[in-house]
Amino acid sequence: MPMHYKTGYREKTPTILEPHHYEFVKLYAESFDSLAAYTASHKHILKVKASSLLQSAEVWEHIMRRIIDTDHLTSIQQKPASIYRLCIDRTGSSPCQIYNSYTSQGRKKDSNPIDTIKKIVYAYHFFSYLRREYFTKKLYNELVSEMEYLQFLFRNAAWITEFNLFKSRIEKDGIIFSKIINHGKEED
Q: Could you tell me the maximum CA-CA distance found in the chain, to the nearest angstrom? A: 89
Task: Give backbone dihedrals phi and psi of 132, rounded to 5 degrees, phi first.
Answer: -105, 85
Task: Give backbone dihedrals phi and psi of 72, rounded to 5 degrees, phi first.
Answer: -120, 110
Query: Quick one: pLDDT at residue 120?
Result: 94
Segment 9-31 shows an average pLDDT of: 71
User: The whole model's pTM is what?
Assistant: 0.74
Whether residue 112 is predicted with pLDDT greater than 50 in this model: the reply is yes
More confident of the two residues 34 and 18: 34
Percent of the chain with pLDDT over 70: 87
Query: Quick one: pLDDT at residue 123?
Result: 95
8 A C-beta contact, residue 158 and residue 148: no
Note every long-range contact of 137-142, with CB atoms under 8 Å and residues 24 or more positions apart, other chains counting.
137/183, 137/184, 138/99, 138/103, 139/99, 139/102, 139/103, 140/180, 140/183, 140/184, 142/102, 142/103
Q: How far is CA 182 from CA 42, 83, 141, 175, in A?
A: 38, 21, 12, 13
pLDDT tens string 116-155: 999 999 999 999 999 999 999 999 999 998 888 888 877 7
Whether residue 59 is predicted with pLDDT greater than 60 in this model: the reply is yes
Query: Quick one: pLDDT at residue 135?
Result: 94
Q: How far apart are CA 144 and CA 75, in angstroms?
A: 34
Burial (CB count <10 Å: 0-12, 13-18, 19+), residue 1? exposed
173 SS3 class: coil
Q: How far apart are CA 93 and CA 88, in angstroms?
A: 5
Q: Give the dihedral of Cα atoms 156, 159, 165, 167; nearest 10 deg.
A: -120
Domains of the chain: which residue ranges?
1-53, 55-181
Query: Quick one: pLDDT at residue 104?
Result: 82
Query: Quick one: pLDDT at residue 106?
Result: 72
pLDDT tens string 78-107: 999 999 999 999 999 999 999 999 888 777
Query: Quick one: pLDDT at residue 188?
Result: 40
